[in-house]
Every structure is written in C-alpha cells, then in structure tokens.
Amino acid sequence: MEIKRMASSSSSGLTFKLHPLVIVNISDHYTRVKSQLNPPPLTSTSATVNGVENQQQAPRVYGCVIGVQRGRTVEIFNSFELLYDPSTHSLDRPFLKKKQELYKKVFPHFYILGWYSTGSDAQESDMHIHRALMDINESPLYVLLNPAINPTQKDLPVTIYESELHVIDGIPQLIFVRSSYTIETVEAERISVDHVAHLKPSDGGSAATQLAAHLTGIHSAIKMLNSRIRVLHHYLVGMQKGDIPCENSLLRQVSSLLRRLPAIESEKFQDDFLMEYNDTLLITYLAMFTNCSSTMNELVDKFNTAYDRHSRRGGRTAFI
C-alpha cells in the first residue's frame, strides 16, 4: 500500500501545452517494450495460454520530455526514451546526457522540461526520480500516461504533475500536484494525426474520395461543436426552469462566450476578407475556363477526325 500524496490542483500559474507527437511517442515506446517482453505465439494453440499471461506483464517505461518554455507557457514538443536502473531507483544519467546532446544537434531550441512514465497513478518512487532531475530543470514536469485501454473513458489518460513544496504535519515536503493542459498542434501535425487516426486514403485516391474524406473530417468536427452547444443549451434551460441551482460564475462564462460572437466586425477585416474571397473565386473561375477550353479542344479534334473525309472530297476546309 503506497501512500500517494497529491494535491488536487497546481498553483504555479503555468499553462501547459502538449503536442500529440509526445503522446504517440510514449504509446509507441510502451507498445514496443511490451511486445518484446511478450513475444507473439509461434503456433495458434499456445495463443490462448499466452493470452492469459500477457495481460499481467505491463512494464513501466521511462523517458524524457523536451520542449520550450516561454514566460508562463510551457510547450512540450517531443520526447525520447531513457533507461531506468531498478537497483538505484534512478534514471541512467550518462545515457540521458548522450541523448540530450544528440537531440540538441537536431532541435537546438528544445531543452529538457521533465520526464514521463506509464502507469495508473503517481507513486512514491517517482518523487525520487523527480528530485534527481531537479538539477537539470528547477521545476521539472512529470507526464503520466495510463496505458490501460478503457472503452468507457472519455478523457485522455494523460496527466501532467508538477512538484510543489507543501508543509504537511509541520514538515515541508515535495508533493505532486496535477496541472491542466491543452493540446497544441501545428498544421502539419494535425493533418498527419488526422490521417493516421482515420486512415484516410492517401495515394491513388481520386479527387472524389479525398474530398469526401476531407468533408467527413469537417462534418465530425461540426457535429462535435453542435453537441457541445446542445449541452450548454440544455443546462441553461434547466437553470431557467429552476431544476438546477443558479451558478453565477458559469453564467458569466457563457455570456462572455456569446459576447465574443461575431468575432471581428471592423472595416479592414471586411476588405481583406472580400479580397481573399474574390481571389479564390477568380482562381476557381480560371480552373473552370481551362477545363472548358480543353474540352472544346478535344471536341474540335474529334470533329476534325470524324469529318476529315468529307472535306477532301467537297473541297471544304476543316471546321477550324
């Protein structure tokens, strides 16, 4: 039984942004280590036996997260694996240094922000590792991924912990506090994540399939927006009827949200927007023109081929 000392929310005021690459990285590391420990059965008969045993071997993997800290915003871009030494309960330092050098060469702007591990909850031994990393970064982060696949889960099983000095029973101690985070992405990352998540047709797909795939993506996003707005609406109606007690802070948030629409109203925006709009329409028009003229050209060629014999006999010139 381990006593887990954790507070409910962090008070450091830092905002965290997590990139999906980190999540996929950690998941891949875990899957790799797990599959090396549980090799696939060679024959189908032993599959059922191994299947039962495989469930219990869930190894813990460890690694480092790197990124950038600008002011109060901490953005985690990437991660790499580390070796854990179970005898000393700490991470392999020379290995860490080596990897750090290698990554510095390719990504010179990133530096070590903290470490990650897999498991369902933060444990006592983790504080040991956390403290060891404090000489690289005064306030490291601890990213925890829960690899258990739970189909009823709605939220990402990733939590970010910070360490804070709290006084408990008169003794100042370091404990883990949870922090909230947002998912941040660049356009290229979003497209590839979208691509892999829905396994869209990539090459050889006709324009229709790609358009369909793109529209499906937008459709699901709009459906999501719609469902969220419905929830808010339902909540407000309930509050009006008196079923739910009035909560002023939430009402304030909803009203500020409504007041932000429409987003921009200025004249400059209208000008720029119309300019872009006209440009796009022109390009579509140009494409249509080119298409038409090429079809016309084909028609003329076909006509010429079909009526060539007549023109020679009658002395008439060709159509064009």
Partner 1 sequence: MDSAIAQKTWELENNILAVEAPNPSSDFIFYYDEVAQAMSLKAKPWGNDPHFFKRVKISALALLKMVIHARSGGTIEVMGLMQGKTGGDAIIVMDAFALPVEGTETRVNAQADAYEYMVDYSQTNKQAGRLENVVGWYHSHPGYGCWLSGIDVSTQMLNQQFQEPFLAVVIDPTRTVSAGKVDIGAFRTYPEGYKPTDDPISEYQTIPLNKIEDFGVHCKQYYALNITYFKSSLDCHLLDLLWNKYWVNTLSSSPLLGNGDYVAGQLSDLGISFLCT
Q: By CB under 8 A, what part of segment 66-125 binds partner 1?
A: 80-83, 95, 98-99, 102, 105-107
Options 1-9, 27-35, 68-76, 245-253: segment touching partner 1 (CB under 8 A)? 27-35
Q: 126-155: which residues touch partner 1 (CB under 8 A)?
A: 147, 149, 153-155
Question: Judged by CB, which is closer to partner 1: 178, or 200?
Answer: 200
Question: Judged by CB, which is closer to partner 1: 34, or 178?
Answer: 34
Q: 206-235: which residues touch partner 1 (CB under 8 A)?
A: 206, 208-210, 212-214, 217-218, 220-222, 224-225
Question: Judged by CB, which is closer to partner 1: 52, or 167?
Answer: 52
Residues 6+ apart with CB under 8 A from 251: 239
- We find the least distance from the C-beta atom of residue 144 to partner 1, in angstroms, to be 14
Q: 234-253: which residues touch partner 1 (CB under 8 A)?
A: none
3-state secondary structure the chain: CCCCCEECCCCCCCEEEECHHHHHHHHHHHHHHHHHHCCCCCCCHHHHHHHHHHCCCCCCCEEEEEEEEECCEEEEEEEEEECEECCCCEECHHHHHHHHHHHHHHCCCCEEEEEEEECCCCCHHHHHHHHHHHHCCCCCEEEEECCCCCCCCCCCCEEEEEEEEEEECCEEEEEEEEECEEECCCHHHHHHHHHHHHCCCCCCCCHHHHHHHHHHHHHHHHHHHHHHHHHHHHHHHHHHHCCCCCCHHHHHHHHHHHHCCCCCCCHHHHHHHHHHHHHHHHHHHHHHHHHHHHHHHHHHHHHHHHHHHHHHHHCCCCCC
Q: 163-202: which residues touch partner 1 (CB under 8 A)?
A: 182-183, 185-197, 199-200, 202
- We find the least distance from the C-beta atom of residue 284 to partner 1, in angstroms, to be 12
- We find the least distance from the C-beta atom of residue 257 to partner 1, in angstroms, to be 13
Contact status: 30 vs partner 1 (CB under 8 A): yes
Contact status: 16 vs partner 1 (CB under 8 A): no
Q: 247-306: which residues touch partner 1 (CB under 8 A)?
A: 276, 280, 283
Contact status: 203 vs partner 1 (CB under 8 A): yes
Report the residue from 10, 16, 25, 161 that binds partner 1 according to the rule CB under 8 A. Answer: 25
- We find the least distance from the C-beta atom of residue 316 to partner 1, in angstroms, to be 28
Question: Judged by CB, which is closer to partner 1: 21, or 244?
Answer: 21
One-letter amino acid of 120 = S
Report the residue from 6, 49, 134, 156 that binds partner 1 according to the rule CB under 8 A. Answer: 156
